[in-house]
Amino acid sequence: MAATVTRRRVLPRVKNRIFLLLVIFSNTFGNCLLAMGMQRMPDFLGTPFSRYLLFLITNPWMLSGTALLALWLFSQLSMFTWADLSYVLPVTASGYMVTALLSKFVLDEHISALRWAGIVVITFGSMLVSQTPMRTKAEWRERDR
Amino acid sequence: MTWLWVILSVVSGTLGDVFSARGMSMRGEIVDFRLGGLARVLHYIVTHRLVMLGIGCNALSFGSFLAVLSLAPLSFAVPATALNFILKTLLAKWYLREDVSWHRWAGVALVAAGILMISF
């Protein structure tokens, strides 16, 4: 009996953490792959449209980036079946930190001090929201009882 | 003209997430993560009108955000996404009837402030 109760309390939290990581990393790595893919695309205005389209759908960076963004959409929509919108969005905003790290170390972009400060502020905001209950709707509270 | 695209991007992005969240919360919590269970979730997503409306609104928001980027610098376009967080939280409280505590509001305000800071 006690094991069942513990399992019922622990499993949702583990599932939630796994999906948070999935949402954050699929979005940031997906965007990073798309950015890398766009750097390898020919000039849009100087290339016939059909040829540009062919480059686009055969570019492995663009394809893998698109697949990761599809995974991001699916995992975020899945989270809405057990967590509040006002919980999911700010908590997954901590992905800005991952994006900044990828921009700096993978794409070799310059990030100013003010931008780093902004990323730290976003991360604090995300951490603050992550301390609140993930589901607060009255209908869910009834179901949880 | 640029402001019209900004308003379209913010409004459609906000409605997109709110409709998607409403549609998905009507389904009930996902507990079956086997291939068949995930296929049923995918089937629910592509056949549920509110969820598809939400995805359509988000696509419109993305398209209008690209239009803003083509007309104005990134530092003008990005603060709009900060406004998105505030509007989505307001609608989560009023339309989705979520209990948004001051603790959660403070976190949302910090996220929005941080987005404003990274746009400079």
The 10s digit of each residue's pLDDT in A36-88 is 888 888 887 788 888 888 988 899 999 999 999 999 999 999 999 999 999 99
**Residue in B55, B92, B114 closest to A85 by CB:** B92
CA distances from B93 to A137, B20, B87, B97 (A): 9, 15, 10, 5
pLDDT of residue A7: 53
pLDDT of residue A142: 66
CB within 8 Å: B120 and A137: no
Is any Cβ of chain A less than 8 angstroms from the Cβ of B113? yes
Give the number of A-B residue pairs with CB atoms closer than 8 Å: 133
Q: How far apart are CA A131 and CA A12, in angstroms?
A: 15
Could you give the residue ranges of the DSSP H alpha helices within B72-101? 74-77, 79-94
Over the range A23-37, which residues count as b (16 or more CB within 10 Å of their CB) and which as e?
A: bbbbbbbbbbbbbbb
Q: What is the H or E stretch that residue B4 is in?
A: helix B2-25
Please report, as a single letter, which amino acid is at residue A81: T
Domain enclosing residue A75, as ranges:
2-144
Could you give the residue ranges of the DSSP H alpha helices within chain A? 2-39, 49-58, 60-79, 85-92, 95-105, 113-130, 138-144
Split into its structural domains, chain A has a count of 1
A84 CA: distance to closest CA in chain B (Å): 7
Residue A83 in contact with residue A13, Cβ under 8 Å? Answer: no
pLDDT of residue A70: 94
**Residue in B21, B30, B108 closest to A90 by CB:** B108
pLDDT of residue B80: 77
Q: How far apart are CA B74 and CA A52, in angstroms?
A: 25
The 10s digit of each residue's pLDDT in B46-85 is 999 999 999 999 999 988 988 887 787 777 777 777 888 8
- For the segment B24-46, the average pLDDT, to the nearest whole number, is 93
Question: Does ipTM surpass 0.95 in this model?
Answer: no
Residue A114 in contact with residue B120, Cβ under 8 Å? Answer: yes
Of the candidates A124, A99, A129, A123, the residue with the CA atom closest to the CA atom of residue A31: A99
CB within 8 Å: B51 and A87: no
pLDDT of residue A26: 95
pLDDT of residue B52: 97
CB within 8 Å: A119 and B99: no
pLDDT of residue A37: 86
Q: Is the pLDDT of residue B104 over 90?
A: yes
Q: Looking at chain B, which residue has its C-alpha nearest residue A96?
A: B115
Percent of chain A's residues with pLDDT above 90: 48
